A and B are shown apart, each in its own frame.
Chain A
Amino acid sequence: MTYFFQFLFIALLASMSYLIAMRFKGIIATIRLSQPIQLSDQPAERWKRVFLLAFGQKKMFQKPFVGLMHFLIYIGFVLINAEILEIILDGILGTHRLFAPFLGSLYPLLLNFFELLAGGVFIACLVFFARRGIFKVQRLQPEKHSELKGFPIQDAYTILIIECVLMAALWTMNAADAILQSRAVEHYYEVGSFIVSRNLIPFLNAYSTETLYVMERVAWWFHIAGILGFALYVTYSKHLHIFFAFPAAYYSSLKSSAYIPSLSTVTHEVKLMLGQSVSGEAAPTSLRFGAKDVMDLNWKNLLDAYSCTECGRCTDQCPANQTGKLLSPRKIMMDTRDRLEEVGVILSKNKGEFVDDGQSLLDKISGEELRACTTCQACVEACPMELSPLNIILELRRYQIMEMSDAPAAWNSMFSNIETNQAPWKFNPSDRMNWTKS
């Protein structure tokens, strides 16, 4: 019988690992379609960012209470998962609490600590539930922000529920285990009861040893299968930030948020027009100016889209959104991710080749949204991970203006004024010094 469960466990572990690996492979394949950008300079500064923004969650603590709640879930997630190593080894070897004899008195200490962390996760999830559902924090409401309607809001609640259920499974497992130990059931190594789960013992004590055994085993399987299932679910979810926050922080822009990089294809053409030397420079290979679809964006833009956890701090701070305009920086990130998921499906159906489906990112994002941006960088500043919706907006604007010639008449006049009068208004350039006279 034990061999059967060991076999079942290895099969579960292997198949879930395979599915998760395939998902990551698919995600990376879509990111690989993107345009290059150099973001490997100043490694020391970048590691500092990883420690401050990702590990230290510096920007999350700008809202201290929410920051603390988020930190509880994060620290619980990281540390409780250390226990997974034992669970996996137990599952493969058919053992029970493999580490207990080796760790001695440290073992119950660690488990007490994990149970408390699980309590922190549980409480923080309830708080987040309340913030969404009871206190109705504006930026999290689908009624206020239509981009959250449907899957995104379901996703948000699903994550909170799964996390609570997983923690409950952990406690149930430990409580049943403690009773089985006290009844000296074979395999149940004497490690004692633990700080949170011992409160469940009175409720479970009435059950027979057989029932408790089944309960402990079911909770154990539920816990590990839940974690593996959750890890797979996360790759489809906004919760993917638990993995991608780290590379996103490492590769975040070290330049001013107001800096827009030059489009090298344009530089080449402008130099030719101005009669400047282009010798030694390769003629541009890309024929598209700006971005129409995700593969026209750079890989950091795409990594950003996968890293976004839809918290809406960007949209909350966006002056266009605050004044009722169509633009929502969060929606820009979500649309980019949605398009990436579509592209991922195309890739997997066509042996890794992208086949034009007649769709693009610009089918999801309208000109009106793009034109509403004041480039004030409040979205970038607000993002706890320094993701940049602004970068994506500006690349789409480039396509909109240069490839589609889709500009309001007032902008076209401004362009021609700059060209002919050297100022955005229709003044005579020879009057530029008139202010010195009066």
Chain B
Amino acid sequence: MVLNIRTMADYLAKGQMPEYLFWVGCAGSFDDRQKKVTRAFCEILQKAEISYAILGTEESCTGDPARRTGNEFLFQMQAMTNIEVLNMYQVKKIVTACPHCFNTLKNEYPSLGGTYDVIHHTELLAQLLKEGKIEIEEEREEIAFHDSCYLGRGNGIYEAPREIISELQKDLKELKSCRTKGLCCGAGGAQVFKEPEPGAMDVQVKRTEEIIESGVKKVAIACPFCMVMIQDGLNKTGHDKDIQVVDLAELVQKAMK
């Protein structure tokens, strides 16, 4: 599919306003694996005829990793700069494929002057599927879902990802630790940007062991950092050939007619 991606500046130049701002996020913009997820999500939006725009080069890190390390200065610098841009474009609705950007934009920007209606891409995808805006071809397969901390515990989004899997007529295999007890992938709190502290094993390996135990051939995630960590866990345990990690957007895009 040829993607027709426009920026907020493009819209503004024509005096138009898209329904959604798609906040791509740093991983979605720069990480080679996650770029595929970003494109898959854009294909779905285009197919479902959702009007959306990105900020393009005007987008900047939300500041989430800085805030989680304790660097409140850097976080607030990022937040306030981003809020200036978002408010300038009079953004109302934001959709993002990153639970960390999602949490920051939704929960932490309001107190600094940036209040938007923020949804995660799994919520939008579940809604589009339920409304029949996306037609799919069934392909039955067993699939596990790994709950992201910032989606599940952080924001109570447990159902949307599962609804996507059931709308796609796939069989969900719940992992041993799931939903409120979902085990972290090990990336959060800016862990992904440094070596882990000394310990007996890596968190991602522990999480991956549960995925291996479940016996699935495919595990769905909904977070770019879970993607990195679970893939790393599979590589380290030698299961990178027999278990595939996919983002839910990729799953929908693949099933899309």
Residues of A within 8 A of B (CB): 255-263, 266-267, 269-271, 273-274, 276, 289-290, 317, 319-320, 322-327, 368, 371-378, 380-381, 394, 396-402, 407-408, 410-411, 414-415, 418-419, 422-425, 427, 429-436, 438
- Which among A258, A394, A398 has the greatest number of chain B C-beta atoms within 10 A? A258
Assess whether B46 is interfacial by the CB under 8 Å rule: no
Q: Which residues of A contact B187 (CB under 8 A)?
A: 374
Jot down 24 A-B pairs with beta carbons below 8 A, ordered by A. A258-B107, A263-B76, A267-B112, A274-B81, A319-B183, A320-B197, A323-B205, A324-B200, A374-B189, A376-B149, A376-B188, A378-B183, A396-B70, A402-B70, A402-B72, A410-B195, A411-B194, A415-B69, A415-B71, A418-B66, A423-B29, A423-B60, A424-B61, A429-B57
Q: Which residues of B contact A261 (CB under 8 A)?
A: 111
Q: Which residues of B contact A376 (CB under 8 A)?
A: 149, 153, 184, 188-189
Q: A256-B103, A430-B57, A432-B59 are in contact. Are A375 and B68 (CB under 8 A)?
A: yes
Q: Which 10 A-B pairs have the closest CB atoms?
A: A324-B200, A258-B154, A397-B70, A375-B189, A401-B70, A376-B184, A422-B60, A325-B199, A324-B199, A410-B194
A271 touches B189 (CB 8 A): no
Q: How far is the CB of B119 from chain A (nearest CB, A)?
A: 14
Assess whether B198 is interfacial by the CB under 8 Å rule: yes
B103 touches A258 (CB 8 A): yes
B71 touches A276 (CB 8 A): no
Q: How far is the CB of B69 from chain A (nearest CB, A)?
A: 6
Q: How far is the CB of A387 from chain B (nearest CB, A)?
A: 15
Would you list which residues of chain B between 177 and 191 have a CB under 8 Å from chain A? Answer: 180-181, 183-184, 186-191
Q: How far is the CB of B108 from chain A (nearest CB, A)?
A: 6
Q: Which residues of A contact B59 (CB under 8 A)?
A: 422, 432
A422 touches B61 (CB 8 A): yes
Q: Give A258 to B184 CA distance when docked, in angstroms.
A: 13
B188 touches A410 (CB 8 A): no
Q: Range of interface residues on chain B?
A: 35 or more
Assess whether B80 is interfacial by the CB under 8 Å rule: yes
Q: Which residues of B contact A256 (CB under 8 A)?
A: 103, 107, 154-156
Would you list which residues of chain B between 56 and 82 have a CB under 8 Å from chain A? Answer: 56-57, 59-61, 63, 65-74, 76-78, 80-81
Assess whether B145 is interfacial by the CB under 8 Å rule: no
A435 touches B29 (CB 8 A): yes
Q: Give A268 to B59 CA distance when docked, in angstroms.
A: 24
Q: How far is the CB of A232 from chain B (nearest CB, A)?
A: 38
Partner of A257, one of B3, B39, B154, B195: B154
Q: How far is the CB of B250 from chain A (nearest CB, A)?
A: 14
Q: Which residues of A contact B29 (CB under 8 A)?
A: 423, 427, 432-435
Q: Which residues of B contact A397 (CB under 8 A)?
A: 68-70
Q: A408-B195, A419-B74 are in contact. Are A374 and B188 (CB under 8 A)?
A: yes
B60 touches A263 (CB 8 A): no
Q: How far is the CB of B106 from chain A (nearest CB, A)?
A: 8
Assess whether B123 is interfacial by the CB under 8 Å rule: no
Q: How far is the CB of B26 from chain A (nearest CB, A)?
A: 4
B198 touches A377 (CB 8 A): no
Q: How far is the CB of A60 from chain B (nearest CB, A)?
A: 15
